[in-house]
C-alpha cells in the first residue's frame, strides 16, 4: 500500500538560503541568511548575492564606483560614489527585529530605491541612533537620513549645515550634533582646508559649544557610550553629558611610534573598545575609559584592511599586503593566528587601487579579491577558505547584511530543496508574482518516466552533494543527509505519467489510476511571498491509488518539469500542510552520475 503522507508539524531547519516560493505557512523556523553586496572597481554596478546560495544574484547599475555600507541593522545598503557626486540606496531584503530572547527575520528580494541623492563629493557615512549621516565634503553640509524608513524603501532626509565645506563628518550625540570643523584659512585650487577640531552644534547648524582641538581630524566610530575620532595629537572621545557633548583627548603615549596617527577607527558593539590604524603597519587597541588607553600591535607587513568580529567581540581580523589574514585578540592586543588567503597586494600606489576588502558574516570573514574576480569565504575558527564565489569584473568594496532569526513564514521543504530548482526566473521562483501570471497546467507537464532520488541518498551516491552543501552551508554533511533522508523518503521508487494515467511502482509493484486537474492552490504567507501547488484528483483506477496528487516544481504556468516533488494522499486539504516529506523525482533516463551533476550544478 502507498505510504500516506499525513499532516505533520514542520521540522526545524537552520537555513542558509534566500526566501523562496513557499508551500505553506507553518510553525516558525530558525533561519540564518547573509546577503553580500559588492561594488565593482571599474564598472558602475553593485552585485548582490546570498552567501550560501550565490546563484541568488542581483545586479544594480550605479553612476560610478561605490563604497558600500550596511545600515539600520543591515536593513538597507548605501552606495556612496564620491567621484561621481551620487548616492544610491538599496533595501537588503533582510529585516531583523529583536525581541530580547530572540530575533525575528523577514526575507525578500533586495531592491534599488528610485530616489537617490546627488551633491558635491559625498564621503564619510555614520550610522547611529537611527540616523544615517553622509557628509558632502564640497557642499558644506551633511545629509541626515531616517534609517528605519530607508530599510522600508523610503528616502526621508534633511540637511545639517556646516560652517564651511571640508572633508569631515557629523554625528548625533544626545539631542545635539557634533561636526568636524575646518579652518578659516583660504585654500588654493582643490586643496582642502585644514581640519582643526570637533564642535557641538544645534540642528540648525548654529554652535552649541566650543571647538575641541583635533588637528587633521579623520576617522570616527561609536562604541558603548563613546564616539571616538582620530587626531594628530591622539584620539578625541565624545560622550553625552547633562549639558551637552563632553569631549576629552586621549593623547598618544610616548611608547607609540613617533610621527604616526590614527585615521580609521572601528568600534565594537559588544564591548567598549575601539580598533584603529596606526601607521602603515600597525594597529592600536583603544580603551576609552581605563589606562593604558592605547596598546600597539605591530604587523609584519603593511595593512590592507581590517574588521571587528561582531559575533565574538574578542577578535578582529587584518589582511596584510603579503596576502596573509591575521586574527587579532583585542584583550591581549596581539596576533594569535595567521594564514595565507590570497596573492600579495602591494600598498604602493593610489589609496583607491583595487585591493581586497573585508566584511563579517557570522562565523565567516567575507573577502573581495579583485585581481582574482572572486569573493572568498574564510572560517573564523580555522582561517581556512570555506569556498569562493566568482563575481564578474573586479569585486572591490563590500558590505554584508543579514544574521539569524525566527522566520514565522518559512517552508522547510522548499527552502532546503532550493539548490535543486531549475526555474531561471528568480522572482517567480522566490514566490513573488502576480495572479495573472498563474496559469492552469496539464498533467503532460510532468509526462515521462521518473525515478526517486531516495535510493541514491541511501547508497551514498549523493554523498558529494551533501559534502557540497556542507561546504557552502551551515550544517555538516551528516546533518544535511539526515534532513534529506526525511525529505526524500518513499517506497515509490518509480513513477510513469502518460496521458491521464499515473503509475506508481512501490517496491517494483505497479499501482495505476487516472487523474484530472483539480485546479491549483495559491498559498500566501506573512511576508508576502507565495507558492502554487497544482492538484489532480483520481477519476478511476486501482482502489489503493491515492485520491489526490499535488505537484510542486516552483513554476506557476505551463512548462515541462526537469524534476519535481510529489505529495499524495486521500485528504486534499491535509496534503497542503505537508512540509517534511517531499519525495523527489528525476527522469529515469538520467544516470546516477548525471543526477549528481545536476544537483551540484544548481
What is the DSSP track for 518-583? Answer: EEEEEEE-TTS-EEEEEEEEEEEE-TTS-SEEEEE-S--SS---SSEEEEEES-HHHHTT--S---
Q: Which phi and psi angles does 371 have, rounded to 5°?
A: -65, -30
Q: Is the CB of residue 78 less than 8 Å from the CB of residue 89?
A: yes
What pLDDT, on a 0 to 100 scale, did the predictor assign at position 556?
A: 86
pLDDT score for 1: 34
Give 194-224 pLDDT, tens digit per residue: 889 999 999 999 999 999 999 999 999 999 9
Q: Where does residue 493 fall: left (phi above 0), alpha (psi -120 to 50 degrees), or beta otherwise? A: alpha
Assigned domain for 17 exists: no
pLDDT given at position 508: 83
Predicted confidence at residue 101, as pLDDT, reads 53
Phi, psi of 531 (to 5 degrees): -135, 160
What is the total residue count of the chain?
Answer: 602
Kindly report the number of other CB atoms within 10 A of residue 19's CB atom. 31
* Three-class SS state of 370: helix
* Cα distance between residue 245 and residue 198, in whole Å: 11
Place of cell 567621484: 83
With residue 412 as reference, give the H or E element that holds it. helix 412-416
Q: Which three cell numbers stand for residue 135?
A: 557628509
Give a yes or no: residue 444 inside a domain. Answer: yes
The answer to whether position 382 is within a domain reads no
The answer to whether 6 and 50 are in contact (CB under 8 A) is no
Instruction: List, as one string, the DSSP characters of 247-290.
Output: EEEEEPPTTSPTT-----EEE-SSSS-EEEE-STTEEEEE-SSS
| pLDDT confidence of residue 473 | 74
Q: Please give the C-alpha separations between residue 96 and each of 102, 103, 188, 407, 543, in angstroms, as whole numbers.
A: 10, 6, 48, 10, 50
**Beta carbons within 10 angstroms of residue 436's beta carbon:** 6
- On whether residue 416 sits in a domain, the answer given is yes
Give the integer Cα–Cα distance in Å for 119 and 99.
Answer: 38
Cell of 390: 566568482
Residue 522 within any structural domain of the chain: yes
The continuous run of DSSP H or E covering 601 comes out as helix 592-601
Question: Are 443 and 517 a contacting pair, CB within 8 Å?
Answer: yes
Q: How many Å apart are CA 488 and CA 81, to the nearest integer? A: 48
Which pLDDT score is estimated for 402? 93
| Helix 463-472 / helix 592-601 crossing angle, nearest 10 deg | 10
Residue 350 sits at φ, ψ, to 5 deg, of -70, 150
Q: Is 470 exposed, middle or buried (0-12, 13-18, 19+ CB in 10 A)?
A: middle
Asked, for residue 109, whether it belongs to a domain, the answer is no
Pull the grid cell for residue 527.
Answer: 511576508
pLDDT of residue 578: 84
Total structural domains in the chain? Answer: 1
Q: Which three-class secondary structure state does DSSP give residue 371?
A: helix
Euclidean distance between CA atoms 550 and 535, whole angstroms: 4
Q: Helix 463-472 and helix 477-488: axis angle, to 10°?
A: 120
Which string of b and e fits 293-303 if b means at least 16 CB within 10 Å? bbbbbebebbb
For every residue of 454-519, which 3-state class applies, written as one string? HHHHHCCCCHHHHHHHHHHCCCCHHHHHHHHHHHHCCCEEEEEEECCEEEEEECCEEEEEEEEEEE
Surface-to-core class of residue 311, CB atoms within 10 Å of its CB (0-12 exposed, 13-18 middle, 19+ buried): middle
The DSSP bridge partners found for residue 71 are 76
| Alpha helices per DSSP H over 116-209 | 147-151
Those residues of the chain that have pLDDT short of 70 are 1-29, 98-102, 185-192, 408-432, 524-529, 601-602
Which uninterrupted H or E stretch holds 112? strand 111-112
- 584 CB neighbour count, 10 Å cutoff: 22
| Cβ proximity of 271 and 290 under 8 Å | no
Q: What is the DSSP string of 177-207?
A: EEEEEE-S----TTPPPPEEEEEEE-TTS-E
Specify if 322 maps to a domain: no
Distance of CA 512 to the CA centre of its chain: 47
| End-to-end Cα distance, the chain | 34
Domain that holds residue 460: 412-601
Check which CATH number belongs to the domain holding 571 and give it: 2.40.128.20
The whole-angstrom separation of Cα 109 and Cα 50 is 10
Model pLDDT, residue 192: 63
pLDDT of residue 98: 65
Residue 115 domain flag:
no
Amino acid at each position: 500500500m502507498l505510504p500516506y503522507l499525513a499532516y505533520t508539524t514542520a521540522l526545524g531547519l537552520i537555513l542558509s538560503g534566500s526566501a523562496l516560493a513557499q508551500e505553506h505557512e507553518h510553525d516558525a523556523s530558525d533561519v540564518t541568511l547573509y546577503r553580500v553586496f559588492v561594488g565593482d572597481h571599474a564598472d558602475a554596478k553593485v552585485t548582490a548575492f546570498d552567501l550560501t546560495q550565490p546563484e541568488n544574484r542581483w545586479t544594480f547599475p550605479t553612476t560610478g564606483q561605490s563604497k558600500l555600507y550596511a545600515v539600520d541593522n543591515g536593513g538597507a545598503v548605501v552606495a556612496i560614489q564620491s567621484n561621481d557626486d551620487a548616492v544610491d540606496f538599496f533595501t537588503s531584503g533582510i529585516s531583523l527585529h529583536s525581541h530580547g530572547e530572540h530575533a525575528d527575520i523577514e526575507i525578500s528580494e533586495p531592491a534599488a530605491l528610485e530616489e537617490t541623492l546627488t551633491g558635491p563629493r559625498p564621503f564619510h557615512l555614520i550610522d547611529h541612533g537611527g540616523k544615517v549621516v553622509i557628509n558632502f565634503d564640497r557642499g558644506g553640509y551633511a545629509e541626515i537620513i531616517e534609517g528605519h524608513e530607508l530599510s522600508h524603501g523610503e528616502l526621508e532626509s534633511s540637511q545639517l549645515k556646516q560652517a564651511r565645506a571640508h572633508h569631515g563628518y557629523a554625528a548625533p550625540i544626545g539631542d545635539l550634533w557634533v561636526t568636524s570643523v575646518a579652518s578659516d584659512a583660504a585654500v588654493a585650487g582643490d586643496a582642502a582646508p585644514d581640519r582643526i577640531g570637533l564642535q557641538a552644534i544645534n540642528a540648525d547648524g548654529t554652535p552649541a559649544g566650543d571647538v575641541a582641538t583635533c588637528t587633521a581630524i579623520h576617522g570616527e566610530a561609536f562604541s558603548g557610550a563613546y564616539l571616538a575620532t582620530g587626531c594628530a595629537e591622539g584620539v578625541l572621545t565624545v560622550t553625552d553629558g547633562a549639558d551637552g557633548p563632553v569631549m576629552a583627548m586621549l593623547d598618544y603615549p610616548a611608547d607609540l611610534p613617533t610621527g604616526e596617527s590614527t585615521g580609521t577607527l572601528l568600534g565594537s558593539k559588544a564591548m567598549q573598545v575601539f580598533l584603529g590604524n596606526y601607521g602603515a603597519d600597525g594597529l592600536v587597541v583603544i580603551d576609552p575609559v581605563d589606562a593604558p588607553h592605547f596598546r600597539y600591535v605591530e604587523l609584519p607587513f603593511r595593512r590592507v584592511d581590517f574588521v571587528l568580529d561582531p559575533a565574538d567581540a574578542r577578535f578582529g581580523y587584518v589582511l596584510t599586503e603579503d596576502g596573509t589574514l591575521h586574527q587579532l585578540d583585542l584583550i591581549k592586543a596581539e596576533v594569535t593566528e595567521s594564514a595565507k588567503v590570497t596573492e600579495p597586494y602591494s600598498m604602493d600606489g593610489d589609496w583607491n587601487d583595487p585591493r581586497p576588502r573585508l566584511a563579517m558574516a557570522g562565523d565567516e570573514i567575507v573577502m573581495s579579491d579583485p585581481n582574482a574576480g572572486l569573493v572568498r569565504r574564510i572560517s573564523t575558527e580555522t582561517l581556512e577558505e570555506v569556498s569562493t564565489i566568482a563575481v564578474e569584473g573586479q569585486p572591490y568594496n563590500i558590505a554584508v547584511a543579514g544574521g539569524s532569526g525566527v522566520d514565522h513564514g518559512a517552508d522547510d521543504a522548499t527552502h532546503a530543496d532550493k539548490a535543486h530548482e531549475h526555474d531561471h526566473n528568480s522572482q517567480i521562483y522566490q514566490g513573488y508574482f502576480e495572479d495573472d501570471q498563474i496559469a492552469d497546467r496539464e498533467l503532460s507537464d510532468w509526462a515521462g518516466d521518473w525515478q526517486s532520488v531516495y535510493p541514491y541518498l541511501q547508497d551514498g551516491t549523493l554523498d558529494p552533494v551533501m559534502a557540497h552543501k556542507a561546504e557552502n552551508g551551515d550544517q555538516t554533511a551528516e546533518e544535511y543527509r539526515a534532513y534529506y533522508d526525511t525529505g526524500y523518503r518513499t517506497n515509490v521508487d518509480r513513477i510513469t505519467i502518460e496521458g491521464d494515467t499515473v503509475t506508481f511502482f512501490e517496491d517494483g509493484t505497479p499501482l495505476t489510476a487516472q487523474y484530472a486537474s483539480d485546479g491549483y492552490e495559491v498559498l500566501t504567507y506573512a511576508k508576502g511571498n507565495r507558492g502554487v501547488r497544482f492538484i489532480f484528483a483520481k477519476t478511476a483506477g486501482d482502489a489503493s491509488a491515492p485520491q489526490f496528487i499535488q505537484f510542486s516544481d516552483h513554476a506557476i504556468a505551463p512548462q515541462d518539469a526537469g524534476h519535481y516533488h510529489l505529495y499524495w494522499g486521500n485528504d486534499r486539504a491535509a496534503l497542503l500542510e505537508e512540509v517534511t516529506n517531499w519525495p523527489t523525482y528525476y527522469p529515469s533516463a538520467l544516470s546516477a552520475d548525471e543526477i549528481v551533476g545536476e544537483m551540484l550544478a544548481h
